[in-house]
Chains A and B, each alone.
Chain A
Amino acid sequence: MILKESQIMKIHYITGIAALFVVAVHIIMRLVMPFSMSLEYENVIANYQNIAYAVLLESILVLIAIHGFNGLRIILIEFRQNIAWENGVTVFTLVAMIALIAYGTRTIIVANGLG
């Protein structure tokens, strides 16, 4: 499936705006208790074990990975203008994005205790 650049950019904008919201929620959640306490091991694990929070973390991971790696693709394709470079950059960013999402998802699953 080959997406048009406008479709990719639509995804880029939507993931960017959505990421702003979920990251804001994530930061606000740090404030329900004193900040340093919120980062203590037990509290972090407790967060992961709360299914709603785990879903929030997963959505941050997916949204930021898509938005960030597409941003990287955009920067890199401006460096050189040839098909081999463009295809290489697209494949590299796609693979890196999938790998990061897979690794992050695995961490969330393990910390949640499902794995």
Chain B
Amino acid sequence: MTALLNIKTRRKKLERDEKKESTLESSRKVVHLRVYRKNPKQDKSSHFDKFEVPVQRWSTVLDALLHAKGYLDKSIAIRYSCRMASCGSCGMKINGIPRLACYTKVSEIDGNIITCEPLPNFPVIRDLVGDFSDFFEHHSAMEPFIHNQNADIVDENRLTEFIQTPEDVENYLQFSYCIKCGLCYSACPSVGSDTRFPGPQALAQAYRYVADNRDDATQSRLNIVDNKHGIWRCHFAGSCSVVCPKGVDPALGIQLLRGHLVNFSKNDKKLAESRTRNLGKT
């Protein structure tokens, strides 16, 4: 009797395993990857290579590319690191839209042809890897750090604390989520036509520090963006905000910063400055 029960349980387990196996099998499919290939050091021309890659329901475009690189063509150049939308290095144009390869599931894409191209507005180093030098130069030109004359980081006795309320943090929080992936920069038509335009990422970062009440360099930051090729060359296409994978709205940051420049915004910085100044006395 016990032996019969054992056989029945084992058979059930076997059936369950078979079912699991067949579900796994059905979640597997093959996609056709079209990968942009170019090596400017050797040849000015470019072409697309095609790869057939097996994917699962949960595979990302980066997984598919790494499969192609690992098993089909080791020479494909891709930049990636975290595989979790944190480092901002795997940006590329996927079926015509700037996206993070590690944050785009194959199942999200219509059809089974996936075309991967380098991000527009970045000079190609090789294949899918773009040169971010100009992008980071624009970013660092915004002085993306807190300036505060009242904070002495050398003299210990004059150390002050930067107190912020949750409301103060709300003013800039979304802009601090930026991972510098460059998707917004690549989607911006103004960057495409004006190489000296800082782009949505840098301008949104300028706003991030202007809106931060610990920072007292508002005027110098406004001066940085207020020039012929600066913030006024944004024509509000809004594509930056559409493609951002982190929910940042650079177009909003740009409009708010413009508000500061034409004095349409309330000057909340004055209040913030006096608050910081009083901090040492309390």
Contact = CB atoms under 8 A, between A and B. Distances in A.
Contact of B226 (A4, A78, A79, A81): A4
A58 interface: no
Nearest to A79: B193
A77 B190 CA distance: 12
Interface residues of B, number: 15
Interface in B16-75: none
B227 A5 contact: yes
Given A4-B226, A5-B228, A6-B226, A78 B233 contact: yes
Interface string A63-99: 0000000000010011101000010000000000000
A78 B194 contact: yes
A13 B258 CA distance: 12
Contacts of B195: 81
Given A6-B261, A6-B262, A10-B262, A77 B193 contact: no
Interface string B167-194: 0000000000000000000000010011
Contacts of B230: 5
Interface string B197-232: 000000000000000000000000010001111101
Interface residues of A, number: 12
Given A9-B262, A10-B262, A13-B262, A81 B232 contact: no
Interface in A7-27: 9-10, 13
Interface in B229-256: 229-230, 232-233
A86 B190 CA distance: 17
What secondary structure prevails in chain B residues at the interface with A? loop
B196 interface: yes
A86 B228 CA distance: 9
Contacts of B226: 4-6
A58 B239 CA distance: 39
Interface in A31-45: none
A78 B229 CA distance: 8
Contacts of A78: 190, 193-194, 233
Contacts of A86: 228
A10 B263 CA distance: 10
Contacts of A10: 262
Given A5-B226, A5-B228, A5-B230, A81 B196 contact: yes
Interface of A: 4-6, 9-10, 13, 74, 77-79, 81, 86
6 contacts: A5-B228, A5-B230, A6-B222, A74-B233, A78-B193, A86-B228
What 4 A-B pairs are tightest by C-beta distance, nearest first? A6-B261, A78-B194, A6-B226, A81-B196
